[in-house]
Copies of this chain bind each other. A is one copy, B any other.
Amino acid sequence: MLTAHDLACVRGDRTLFSGIEFSLAPGEWLHVQGENGAGKTSLLRILASLSPPAAGEIRWHGRSIRELGADYRAQLIFLGHHGAVKEEFSPLENLLFAAHLDEVPLCRQEAQAALAAFGLRGREDLPVRFLSAGQKRRALLARLAVRRACLWILDEPFTALDVKAVAMLSALIERHLAQGGIVVLTSHQSMPLPKGKALSL
């Protein structure tokens, strides 16, 4: 249960948004919409507790995320514009390290299977630097399939993906929702997803 109360964000001397309210129960997802520069990325970073809001509060199951700290962070996964994949490492190594960081036990076979599911079979051992734009995104997204986190915060997850990969990712998100997960995402494209809440900035 994620709730936001009266959130505001200020950048420079511009107020990007204020008075944002929403609440998401398990199985619900939120589509953050808005023009370029409306403040979607900024909102997502605030929800991920990476930067503090200028005003307002975010609650997770009724408790403020500032108090929860690490307990909250352990339950979320945030994938942003950046890759968070090392260009020198292969997708496999990247995934294994991410699992370590997340304190998830993951063996090579499982990791390889996850990558194959994301269409990277045969590229598991090629340094990410050589991958195409879309393949890089896939290597990143493979983490979604591995880590057990309840709250997914995804910033434009569909960029650079081809049609097949978009379908795959949508299916993954649907399954996560069906299992009682919560998803917050931004996207300029229309998505093949069950109806969710929408928030316009």
- Copies of this chain present in the complex amount to 2
Interface size on A, residues (CB 8 A): 33
Top 7 nearest A-B pairs (CB, nearest first) are A36-B134, A37-B132, A37-B135, A35-B162, A36-B162, A162-B188, A159-B159
CB atoms of B126 and A36 under 8 A apart: no
Tell yes or no: A100 within 8 A of B by CB: no
Which residues in B have their C-beta under 8 angstroms from that of A171? Answer: none
CB atoms of A11 and B130 under 8 A apart: yes
Within 8 A of B (CB), among A18-58: 34-41
Give the contacting residue for A36; candidates B12, B36, B37, B161; CB below 8 A.
B161
Tell yes or no: A131 within 8 A of B by CB: yes
